[in-house]
């Protein structure tokens, strides 16, 4: 699993999310599907390494205020973004400022975020664009957001579902963020940074849900999808336009 991670200097959580066994036969091809955090701090060496991967399609799931605040130093030739979802400050920062937070409250806040995330209109539009363009794309393709874990994790899990990846492998790839993003190594630094920014004295574990992932978050999103749409397949078709024809083209291109 750790061989999927491609260590870069200024880009966190960059990795290949292909290579898993598919129920359609064979496995998801490697070297075509990538995921990561943002590119605002990409170094010249990072950009050279990314360009060597021939990534032509990128969906940047960040809100417009995030992109304006931290513009990427690299973008794919075909870039999917959206102007919806603008915030005046990051939602998790607003939570930490206005609530007397605890590790439990932070965990529950993140879980509630996952319950709503699949249905945000700007997410659905970008997810739909991703699948439509992915079927036509003849190069590598990349999903990113700010940390490459929540919005990115959800869209990568949906991509895995379309490509016939098992739930166990889907969750394992999702949880790989905790290693790829070096959460245990960064947690104390993050505590000090955010406590100073917010004027708080929170324990490090309050910030853990905002640095890493937990399997229950993804399960919450998938269960919300099933409750709302009836099934993941129904959500993919009705909300994102991933019908049988598009699914077949995606499998044909990405599973071998």
pLDDT in tens, 156-168: 999 999 999 999 9
Reported pTM: 0.96
Read off the pLDDT band of 100 (50, 70, 90): confident
Residue 1 has what pLDDT? 65
- Domain holding 239, by residue range, is 2-254
pLDDT > 70? residue 65:
yes
What domain count does the chain have?
A: 1
The 3-state DSSP class for residue 78 equals strand
pLDDT per residue over 187-225, tens digit each? Answer: 999 999 999 999 999 999 999 999 999 999 999 999 999
CATH label of the domain that carries residue 221: 3.90.190.10
pLDDT top residue among 2 and 170: 170
């Amino acid at each position: 699993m750790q061989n999927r991670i491609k260590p870069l200097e200024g880009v966190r959580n960059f990795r290949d999310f292909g290579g898993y066994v598919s129920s359609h036969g064979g496995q998801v091809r490697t070297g075509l599907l990538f995921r990561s955090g943002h590119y605002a701090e990409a170094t010249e060496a990072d950009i050279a390494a990314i360009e060597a991967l021939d990534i032509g399609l990128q969906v940047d799931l960040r809100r417009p205020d995030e992109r304006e605040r931290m513009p990427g130093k690299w973008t794919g030739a075909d870039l999917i973004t959206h102007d919806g979802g603008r915030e005046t400050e990051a939602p998790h920062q607003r939570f930490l400022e206005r609530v007397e937070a605890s590790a439990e409250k932070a965990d529950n806040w993140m879980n509630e975020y996952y319950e709503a995330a699949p249905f945000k209109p700007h997410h659905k539009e970008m997810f739909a664009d991703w699948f439509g363009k992915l079927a036509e794309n003849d190069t590598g393709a990349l999903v990113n957001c700010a940390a490459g874990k929540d919005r990115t994790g959800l869209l990568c899990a949906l991509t895995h579902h379309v490509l016939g990846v098992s739930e166990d492998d889907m969750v394992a790839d999702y949880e790989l963020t905790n290693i790829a993003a070096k959460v245990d190594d960064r947690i104390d630094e993050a505590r000090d940074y955010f406590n100073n920014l917010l004027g708080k004295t929170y324990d490090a574990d309050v910030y853990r849900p905002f640095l890493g992932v937990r399997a229950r978050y993804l399960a919450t999103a998938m269960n919300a999808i099933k409750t709302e749409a009836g099934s993941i397949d129904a959500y993919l078709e009705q909300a994102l336009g991933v019908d049988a024809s598009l699914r077949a083209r995606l499998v044909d291109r990405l599973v071998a």
